[in-house]
Structure 1
Amino acid sequence: MRSLGAGERGSAPADFVLVGSLATVLALGIVQLALILHMRNCLVDAAASAARYGSLADRSRDQARDRAEELVTSSVGSSYASDISVLDAKIGGVDAVEVRIRAPLPIIGLLGPAGTIEVAGHAPAL
């Protein structure tokens, strides 16, 4: 008599390798997505904090830019703090300070190509 699973003898190691590889790639993709979202949230927070800092009556736009650079450098690294601009804007008819940060989009770890992510923070000018 022949057993039912005799023709599939030895397929478990191949299944393990294929499923393990797929699970590893999926897990690394989720970790990379979490890293991108964390970096974006850090940049948004730095832009908003710098805009609030720059909107104070005794602060200048250059000080807001320096503050944004300091926050970005301390949270995600100095390579992400190279393109920061501070502008005067009108939002809903109210004068505001706008801080824009453009940074490379990380694709593998914190390394990335020329593609960028742009975030902005606003605060009413006092």
Structure 2
Amino acid sequence: MAMLVVPLFLGILQVGLFLYIRNTVTAAASEGAAYAAVLNRAPADGETRTRELIRGVVRDQLIDSVTAVETDLDGQPGVEVSVRAHLPPLGLWGPGISFTVAGHAVKETGE
């Protein structure tokens, strides 16, 4: 019985942890994009803000990269912050999970 319950429990725990980390990183990327979209701020400011928000919740070792670039959002100038991260497997076996999330914001203009 325990041979069935323990892997099932670890699998459910892995899915819950993945969803928590993915949602946290997605929210940080969106906030970083909004931060960089303010007038007179550069994409690098959004990258820095995203890293600060993630650092407060998720271990740095899980984040592979954070990038911010100016982009075009439906004809409007914008900012995109992308975060590549991974989640190692729980226990001694199982696959690790790699994922990428992005946040977007329309850039403020002085007009």
TM-score over 0.5 (shorter chain):
yes
Larger Rg belongs to = 1
Counterparts of 1:113 and 1:87, CA distance in 2 = 31
1:108 — aligned with what?
90
**TM-score, normalization by structure 2:** 0.84
Query: What SS does the corresponding residue of 2:56 show, helix, strand or coil?
Result: helix
Tell me if structure 2 keeps the 8 A contact 1:36–1:106.
no
2:27 — aligned with what?
45
Of 87-96 and 37-46, deviating more is 87-96
Shift of 1:82: 4.4
Counterparts of 2:43 and 2:74, CA distance in 1 = 21
Percent of aligned pairs with the same amino acid: 33
Query: What SS does the corresponding residue of 2:39 show, helix, strand or coil?
Result: coil
Counterparts of 1:89 and 1:120, CA distance in 2 = 12
1:89 — aligned with what?
71
**TM-score, normalization by structure 1:** 0.75
1:12 — aligned with what?
none
1:73 — aligned with what?
55
1:24 — aligned with what?
6
4+ runs deviating over 4 angstroms:
112-115
1:54 — aligned with what?
36
Of 66-75 and 112-121, deviating more is 112-121
| Unaligned runs of at least 5 residues, structure 2 | none
Higher normalized strand content (fraction of residues): 2
| Unaligned runs of at least 5 residues, structure 1 | 1-18
Shift of 1:114: 7.9
- Report 1 or 2 for greater relative contact order, CA contacts < 8 Å, sequence distance ≥ 6: 2
Higher normalized helix content (fraction of residues): 1
